[in-house]
Structure 1
Amino acid sequence: MARESQQALTDVSLIDGVRSDDNRSKMRRVASASFVGSLVEFYDFNIYGYASALFFGKIFFPALGPAAGTVAAFATLGVAFVARPVGSILFGHFGDRLGRKRTLVTTLLIMGVSTCLVGLMPTVEQIGVAAPILLVVLRILQGLAAGGEWAGAALFAVENAPAPKRGFWAMFASLGGGAALTLAPATFLVTGFAMSDADFAAYGWRIPFITSLVLIAVGLYIRLRMEESAIFTKERDHGGVPRVPLLEAFRRQRREVLLAGGAMIIPPSFGYLGASYMSNYGATALGLGRTEVLALGVIGGLALTFGIWISGFYSDRFGRRTIILAAAIVAVPWALVLFPLMKLGSSGMFGACMCITMFISGCGLGPMSAFMSELFHTRYRYTAAGFSYNIAQIIGGAGTPLLAAWMTPRFGGLTFGVYLAVLSVISLVCVLKLSETKDYDLSRNIPQS
């Protein structure tokens, strides 16, 4: 009863001079902007991941054969991840100097347009070797934009949220990723129902890329109506802006930048393994049909979304670090048993493995939006959080599917599982070396190191 009375008082109190109902309305707009931006980012990346797993080896690298063509397709997937840290530095620089809002609008536009152009690209049969070259160029543009997207969306929510609910509201930046991991295979699945496998491989795969224009339009409408972060505006007006945010971040918080990157490895490692390579493994090694693989991918995306939601929600109660540690502890043994379980060959077991893998990714990702934003000072928060996040994306998002495609046929799934377990241990150690952040003051001063 006392707790309910206190909540009732809170509901009619002032939060930073704004009534709580007005603040909730503002936070719903902020959460929508964060959600839609990450939805576009992850949707664009994951439709490419599914296309790489199922089609791009044949369409853009037919001369290499099925196995090498798949590795080459995953390599183009990895190119964008290599570009992401560059994007985090570039857009983080402008986000920390010019503001969050304008930067987030720019990243959304670049990501959306480059994704649509992938859907309009000619194939090797039409323009020869220029096709994979153009594909790589567009992937680099996607990577640059994505490098500045998630961190900006996450910290924008954190900087606007009331302190006791930062984990919940920041979670929407990652929740968009979970929705995208559900929407991407669903789009391929629905498109494929209307045509034969031959027609789908010929032109149907383009439709999910082109329809991303709808998401871009919605995202732009929401983001153009946002107000700039008050915490950033106060810092800019009273403390100025750094000349080079990246250098200042490394000068003051080098340790946190590096450890945060290590702590973030599990979500992309498990998420992109499930969303890209496991789809290929199910279709080739296990002989599952395209429709079955995509349907199980939708269920896996829902599992990841649920993991993000529940972990983000409870991070306000138990702490970001505690929830992330729990996900890392579970990840280590699961990495070792994943491929032996999938080798049992049934679609039910494959679906269970997909769901558990994605759920672990979601549980690690849910609190990260708040955790990585709270770690860093406002002056360089965009740059530092984005750089740490995207270093992890290279290791986990680019390296995991590529190495899985190369290692598993040669050395077996268990060998790759050991590699995945090692990544999980690295992430676990990095989280242990970081402090809990849920009670941090976002405006605190970081001392010179």
Structure 2
Amino acid sequence: MSAAVRTPPSPGPTPSAGPRPDRTAVRRINLASMAGTTIEFYDYFIYGTAAALVFHKVFFPAVGGVVGTIAAFGTFALVYVFRPVGSILFGHVGDRLGRKRTLIVTLMTMGLCTVAVGLMPGAATLGVAAPILLIVLRAVQGLAVGGEWAGAALFATENAPDGQRGRFALYPQVGATVAFALATATFLAVDLGIGETSDAFVSWGWRVPFLLSALLIGVGLYVRLHTDETPVFTDAARTTTRRGVPFLEVWRRQPRTMLLATGLATGVFAAMSVATSYLTSYATGSLGMSKAGILVIDIIAALVSVATTAYAAILSDRLGRRRLVTAGCIGLAVWSLVLFPLLDTRSPFAIGAGIVVLLALLGPAYGPLGAYLPEMFSTRYRYTGSGVSYNLGGVAGGAVILVVAAPLTASAWGPITLGLCIAGLLAIAVGCLRRLPETHERALTAACDA
């Protein structure tokens, strides 16, 4: 198996993206690749918070408290169902028509759905049409989200000069933690201003974070309209005959790579989902910490994670992607076993240290993936291959772990059970990494079939 997957890098430094773009073009490329993932994760964080606090009252008042909350979180999870479908759909478009066009479509679709949720009247005005429209918006948004990350990562890596793909691809990766900081800061401001249990919050306060995403959409759309198609795709489109369906082709030519990349993404997403979503609820609900206190910790942790994610992505250009991602996964696995005993001391300092260190360790595991996953696949189906493996990992690691997190922490063994589960998924990720190739010296134009 290893021999089939460990594809050696092409000999010699083959140019992958031509000369380095000028500074203005580089800034636009960086912003273009970062904007979409920032909106994607910003919506993820604000929607999860709104679903927990208010959506059962606004959109599902007729079905009661507990059932209404379950229904609200059902619409939250709906994005995960449609993400793999979106990665296939937009992966096909991106591999056939280009990265830039696809990214403009995914950004507009994803962003407009977020704003539409913030503007939509509730069940008191629209009746049963309100939850139906909410479900439709989430389904469409899930499709767009499924095509966003891979396009952003490819836009960065395929524009990067040799030896700098990690540096360029850090921007879609830090978009996730920047979004976490922005969303947390927004809800902290709402909490301090009008209170998340007030009538004002139920009436209009929850809409503010959704409507603010329009600013991100405007910036993202501007820079994406003012950037060119990637040179790697342009060269491939001119010199390669397009044939077959990218989704079928990648599974036929690189099935082991797809499965191993999915296993890697699953472990990383499990740690990310717990760090950015579940621990906020656990700290306030089970540990008795104030909402404002945990939100401040989350902001600090997010800013630390931005720094470690960026540094790890840059360092991966010199040390290699696999070495840094392996170190990050091992660190996260060990810390997952320490985390819940530390949190259960209920010391604010211990809680803060636990969450900050967890998000700091997420940087080495997640940062290099922006370049690593695209580098594994050939240009003709790179959008599809990297996007599908990333989003399947998001479903298995992100959605599933959030479903089982509360039952595991309430089990007979206590919260350490959840830590063991995360550590187990990260151990699988490390096993997958051992069978994946190192790619940082590989030219993007080299054949990757394995």
TM over 0.5: yes
Mind listing any 5+ residue stretches in structure 2 that lack a counterpart?
Answer: 1-14
- Match of 1:205? 206
Measure how far apart 1:395 and its partner are: 1.3
- For residue 426 of structure 1, the aligned residue among 414, 425, 428 is 428
> What pairs with 1:233-252 in structure 2 (closer than 5 Å)?
233-252=234-253
Letter in 2 for 1:115: T
Output the amino acid matched with 2:438.
E
Total equivalences in the alignment: 432
Q: What's the offset of the Cα at 1:58?
A: 5.4
- Partner residue, 1:3: none
CA distance in 1, matches of 2:279, 2:349: 14
Amino acid at match of 2:428: I
| Correspondence list, 1:330-345, <5 A | 330-345=331-346
Q: Give the Å deviation of 1:48.
A: 1.3
Aligned counterparts of 2:64 and 2:275: Cα–Cα separation in 1:
24
SS in 1 for 2:163: helix
Shift in Å, 1:289:
2.3
Q: Deviations over 1:389-427 (max 9, x none)?
A: 001110122112222133323443122222111111111
Cα offset, 1:54, TM superposition: 4.2
Q: What letter matches 2:291 in structure 1? A: R
Query: How far is the alpha carbon of 1:15 from its aligned partner?
Result: 10
Query: In structure 2, how many angstroms separate the alpha carbons of the residues matched to 1:16 and 1:196?
Result: 50
Structure-2 separation of matches of 1:55 and 1:296:
23
List runs of 5+ in structure 1 lacking aligned partners: 1-13
Q: Give, in whole Å, the separation in 2 of the partners of 1:347 and 1:420.
A: 23
Using structure 1 for the length normalisation, give the TM-score.
0.90
Cα distance in 1 for residues equivalent to 2:349 and 2:83: 35
Does the Cα contact within 8 Å between 2:16 and 2:445 map onto a contact in 1? no
Equivalent position amino acid for 1:100 in 2: R
Match of 1:417, SS state, is helix
Structure 1 residue 17: Cα displacement: 6.5
Q: Name the CA shift for 1:228/1:257 in 2 (closer, same or farther; >3 Å).
A: same
Inter-partner Cα distance in structure 1 for 2:363 and 2:135: 29
Would the alpha carbon gap of residues 357 and 113 (structure 1) be closer, same or farther in structure 2, given more than 3 Å must change?
Answer: same
Q: Who is 1:417 aligned against?
A: 419
Distance (whole Å) between structure 2 residues aligned to residue 40 and residue 381 of structure 1? 23
* Corresponding position of 1:297: 298
Aligned to 2:194: 195
Deviation of 1:268 (Å): 2.1
For 2:334, give the aligned amino acid. Answer: P
AA aligned to 2:423 is A
Q: Which residue of 2 aligns with 1:7?
A: none
Residue deviations 1:271-321 (CA, integer Å, cap 9, x gap): 221222111112211222222222222122112212211211111111100
Could you say which residue in structure 1 is the equivalent of 2:275? 274
Distance in 2, matches of 1:151 and 1:17, equals 21
Question: Which runs of at least 4 in structure 1 moved beyond 6 Å after TM superposition?
Answer: 14-17
- Partner residue in 2 for 1:214: 215
1:445 is matched with which residue? 447
Cα shift at 1:139: 1.9
> Residues 270 and 360 of structure 1 are in contact (CA less than 8 Å); yes or no, is this contact kept in structure 2?
no
Structure 2 match to 1:349: 350
Give me the whole-angstrom Cα distance separating, in 2, the residues matched to 1:302 and 1:50: 20
Provide the residue aligned with 1:103 in structure 2. 102
Taking the aligned partners of 1:295 and 1:371, their CA distance within structure 2 comes to: 32
Decide whether the 8 Å contact of 2:267 with 2:429 is kept in 1.
yes
Question: Bigger CA drift: 350-359 or 147-156?
Answer: 350-359
Does 386-395 or 112-121 show the bigger shift?
112-121
CA distance in 2, matches of 1:311, 1:297: 21
Q: Which amino acid aligns with 1:190?
A: A
Alpha-carbon distance in structure 2 between the residues aligned to 1:312 and 1:374 = 14
Q: Tell me the SS of whatever aligns to 2:287.
A: coil
Shift of 1:115: 0.7
Q: Which residue of 2 aligns with 1:46?
A: 45
Amino acid in the other structure paired with 2:257: E
Deviates more, 1:231-240 or 1:317-326: 231-240
- On the 8 A contact 1:53/1:276 being kept in 2, the answer is no
In 2, the alpha carbon distance for the partners of 1:289 and 1:190 equals 14
SS at match of 1:211: helix
User: Which amino acid in 1 is paired with 2:305?
Assistant: L
Question: 2:134 aligns to what?
Answer: 135
Partner of 1:144: 143
Aligned partners of 1:345, 1:52: CA distance in 2, in Å?
Answer: 26
1:331-410 alignment, distance < 5 Å: 331-410=332-411
